[in-house]
Structure 1
Amino acid sequence: MKKPNTIIISLAAVAAVSAACWLLLVAPGLTGNEVNMTRGVTEHAEMNYSLHMIALWICAVIGILVFSAMFVSIVLHRKSRGEEPAKFTHSTKAEIVWTIIPVLILIAIAIPGTKGVVLMEVSPETEMTVKITGFQWRWKYDYLEDDISFISSLAPDSNAARRLQSGVVPAQVDNYLLDVDNPLVLPVDTPVKFLITADDVIHSWWVPDLGWKRDAVPGFINEAWTRIREPGIYRGQCAELCGKDHGFMPIVLKALPKDEYRAWVAEQKQVAAVEAENVQRLWSRAELMQHGESVYATQCATCHQADGSGLAPAFPALAGSPVAMGPVEEHIEVVLNGRDGTAMQAFGEMLTVTDLAAALTYTRNAFGNDTGDVVQPQAIARIKNG
């Protein structure tokens, strides 16, 4: 029986690998994110994806040419065919060729790469500015033009599911560890400037669909900008190892059409007006306990645990705590301003006056503490206003 032509088999194998790569990258029904880089929804992301594809196809062509030449050379010039190895030291022409070609390839990649860097660093005239501040382990968003501010933390169901013996199974939680209680909301087709910083340690704000990330460094402000083209929900995470709960610091960005965004802004201003009214009225102990339990679950339980047992020695227990059961003035001071040299953060600028009062009331009357103390929002407001 005649043996199959080895050269044809080698070339067929190279062609099959090339075809498989092509199908994986452009097969119908695939968005590209399953087997390739995220395409994204901004100019930055599109530029990054285009540059990635240019480099990928250059590498693919080089790989096909090199391996084809190698397989053909192995087959045609093998020892069993009586081939004798050539004896030479160098080839000036070959050296010139394999120097010029890589330089041209680098130039071909550098031109769009430079355009991408310029696009990322030089922002157009923006229509709104959002200040992003990283905390362990949450984000604070300040809409500077609209005077809107809120904290974005890990969603309660994910926060419960991550704890052992909580009764909540991670597999049953949608977007486990990638959902928050208060997402960042932005309008589409609007250039937005970001001012990114941190309050404690280095964080990094990263949403892959935007096509960039920026470090959040205490004492510094890094700038970035974006223009989102499509409405939708886009998820990201802190991309810097910022502490033991680094993995529980997700980012959710909700992009809305402009009219829906304006309606959301109006709603947030109504919420702020309600908060102002809440500060002025007297709350019942039951109301503060109910609201405080919710605040504690999202803001405090990460360190002090849901049952107040803490995680010694870094995070002391609140159950039977000399602070939670001691003078209320000292407890308020610790919560508002934190404690130097410990993991206790200053929550005075992170939470609303009502949230602070409710959390203090709850921790002084939960976990068996039962001090009977009721901390009113008015009291917190007086202390903060000095």
Structure 2
Amino acid sequence: MHMSKYARSAVSAASVLLGVPSLALADAVNLQTPVTPVASEIYDMHTMMLIICLVIFIAVFGVMFWSVFHHRKSKGAVAAHFHENTTVEIVWTIVPVLILLGMAYPATKTIIAMKDTSNADLTIKATGYQWKWGYDYIKGEGEGIRLISNLSTPQDQIQGKADKDEHYLLEVDQPLVVPVGKKIRILTTANDVIHAWWVPAFGVKQDAIPGYIRDTWFRADKEGVYRGNCAELCGKDHGFMPIEVHVVSAAKYTAWVNERQAAAATSAANDTKTWALPDLVAKGKDVFNANCAACHQPDGKGLPPAFPPLDGAAIVLAPPADQITTVLNGREGTPMAAWGKVLSDADLAAVITYTRNAWSNKTGEAIQPAQIAAARH
């Protein structure tokens, strides 16, 4: 998307003074470069209002400093005695009102555009969980696709054991994928507490509230990878639930849809087959690291008292019924989430099997997807 003339001029002038490229300066000290019509309007209004404020600042303080300098006591200036100048009072009331009206008009147009979610080409529900995003494609090409988007930054980087890469805490394992040039309607809700879906380059920030459906939209006119965050303080790992959106061509999007639908068919087959113990443990380790390690820790020691250890835990070493129920439905009054709303039967069977056979836990039991399905129903 383009910036307005005054936005480009302001950024270019500052870049010349500071000796850095214009785009680099724009992203470093200003809003992110917009890629949607609404984001461009927000960017232009932001720049316009900053310029208005700067002009007012220079005018007011210029007059003030000029008056102080030219009417100082050392020059023999004598203070005038006057009050209640009706003309001045009228002027300094009318002029700010006109300035505010001039700023309110484009702002109102943009707000109305932000709320117009009609005639969308694709509708996606974004559900906030502690602490990840779930995406359900519910209308348009790709209907029926479901993603769970987890932070993919390695634990070594988070714990300071490795250098942080360019996209530290802004990368996920399953990004949201949408076609370029299409109107995308996002329905936001949450499973537990209030979250907020925020992608600055799209000009989108919408709260996700449990029990409510809010909506917003965007149309990205440039292919690329765009990143955002949950923008509502939502608990311990609030800073670990980024948003990553890939905007791709129509052909690439269709190919991605076909790939995801094939993966869904494989997942459905996995939910009905009988797994060998080593395969369950291997798969379960991946599921655990993606979803459970942040709270229960990779070594299974947890972070008591909020997040109890799983290594040597009674519920893990006991018969599996209670653990399956807890993992499926969560535990009221604790941070334990209901993973049955997020993970497939095969994933749940694998992660439970992993916890029962990892660290010092050596039950030798293999929990099958059929057991999870039976517990669900």
Question: Matched residues in 1 for 2:165 and 2:344: separation?
Answer: 28
Q: Which protein is bigger by CA-based radius of gyration? A: 1
How far does the alpha carbon of each residue in 1:264-297 deviate from its partner, in whole angstroms, 9 at most, with x for none? 0110001011112222322111111111111100
**Residue 51 of structure 1: how far off its partner (Å):** 1.1
Asked if 2 retains the 8 angstrom alpha-carbon contact of 1:336 and 1:348, the reply is yes
**Residue 68 of structure 1: how far off its partner (Å):** 2.1
Q: Which residue of 2 aligns with 1:378?
A: 370
Q: Which residue of 2 aligns with 1:9?
A: none
Asked if 2 retains the 8 angstrom alpha-carbon contact of 1:156 and 1:297, the reply is no
Q: Which residue of 1 aligns with 2:128?
A: 134
Asked if 2 retains the 8 angstrom alpha-carbon contact of 1:214 and 1:222, the reply is yes
Q: Which residue of 1 aligns with 2:105?
A: 111
Asked if 2 retains the 8 angstrom alpha-carbon contact of 1:41 and 1:229, the reply is yes
Asked if 1 retains the 8 angstrom alpha-carbon contact of 2:204 and 2:217, the reply is no
Question: Matched residues in 2 for 1:143 and 1:326: separation?
Answer: 39
Does 2:233 align with 1:235?
A: no
Does 2:236 align with 1:219?
A: no
Matched letter for residue 127 of structure 2 = T
Q: Which residue of 1 aligns with 2:5?
A: none
Question: Matched residues in 1 for 2:324 and 2:22: separation?
Answer: 55
5 Å-filtered alignment, 1:47-62, equals: 47-62=41-56
5 Å-filtered alignment, 1:67-78, equals: 67-78=61-72
Give the direction of change, closer, same or farther, for the CA distance of 1:73–1:197 in structure 2 (3 Å limit).
Answer: same
Please say which of residues 25-34 and 42-51 is displaced more in the overlay. Answer: 25-34
Q: Which residue of 2 aligns with 1:270?
A: 262
Q: Which residue of 2 aligns with 1:84?
A: 78
Does 2:36 align with 1:36?
A: no
Give the total of aligned pairs.
362
**Residue 190 of structure 1: how far off its partner (Å):** 0.5
5 Å-filtered alignment, 1:353-364, equals: 353-364=345-356
Matched letter for residue 367 of structure 1 = W
Q: Which residue of 1 aligns with 2:13?
A: 23
How far does the alpha carbon of each residue in 1:30-61 deviate from its partner, in whole angstroms, 9 at most, with x for none? 12222222232111211111111121111111
SS in structure 2 of the partner of residue 144 of structure 1: strand
Give the direction of change, closer, same or farther, for the CA distance of 1:365–1:22 in structure 2 (3 Å limit).
Answer: closer
Please say which of residues 35-44 and 87-96 is displaced more in the overlay. Answer: 35-44
Does 2:158 align with 1:162?
A: yes
SS in structure 1 of the partner of residue 48 of structure 2: helix
Give the direction of change, closer, same or farther, for the CA distance of 1:281–1:341 in structure 2 (3 Å limit).
Answer: same
**Residue 25 of structure 1: how far off its partner (Å):** 6.7
Does 2:173 align with 1:181?
A: yes
Question: Matched residues in 2 for 1:241 and 1:139: separation?
Answer: 15
**Residue 315 of structure 1: how far off its partner (Å):** 0.7
Does 2:186 align with 1:204?
A: no
TM-score, normalised via structure 2 length:
0.92
Does 2:142 align with 1:149?
A: no
**Residue 128 of structure 1: how far off its partner (Å):** 1.1
Does 2:249 align with 1:257?
A: yes
Give the direction of change, closer, same or farther, for the CA distance of 1:209–1:305 in structure 2 (3 Å limit).
Answer: same
1:244 pairs with one of 221, 236, 248: 236
Question: Matched residues in 2 for 1:22 and 1:288: separation?
Answer: 57
Give the direction of change, closer, same or farther, for the CA distance of 1:336–1:214 in structure 2 (3 Å limit).
Answer: same
Matched letter for residue 162 of structure 1 = I
SS in structure 2 of the partner of residue 72 of structure 1: helix
**Residue 255 of structure 1: how far off its partner (Å):** 0.8
Asked if 1 retains the 8 angstrom alpha-carbon contact of 2:177 and 2:248, the reply is yes
Asked if 2 retains the 8 angstrom alpha-carbon contact of 1:25 and 1:35, the reply is no
How far does the alpha carbon of each residue in 1:79-119 deviate from its partner, in whole angstroms, 9 at most, with x for none? 22222111101211111111111010001000001001101
Give the direction of change, closer, same or farther, for the CA distance of 1:25–1:47 in structure 2 (3 Å limit).
Answer: farther
Question: Matched residues in 2 for 1:64 and 1:22: separation?
Answer: 21
SS in structure 2 of the partner of residue 341 of structure 1: coil
Question: Matched residues in 2 for 1:282 and 1:173: separation?
Answer: 40
Question: Matched residues in 2 for 1:231 and 1:225: separation?
Answer: 17
Give the direction of change, closer, same or farther, for the CA distance of 1:262–1:276 in structure 2 (3 Å limit).
Answer: same
Runs of 4+ in 1 over 6 A off after TM superposition: 19-22, 25-28
How far does the alpha carbon of each residue in 1:204-251 deviate from its partner, in whole angstroms, 9 at most, with x for none? 111111112111111111111111111111111111111111111111
Please say which of residues 311-320 and 273-282 is displaced more in the overlay. Answer: 273-282
Q: Which residue of 1 aligns with 2:279?
A: 287
**Residue 160 of structure 1: how far off its partner (Å):** 4.0
Q: Which residue of 1 aligns with 2:334?
A: 342
**Residue 21 of structure 1: how far off its partner (Å):** 8.8
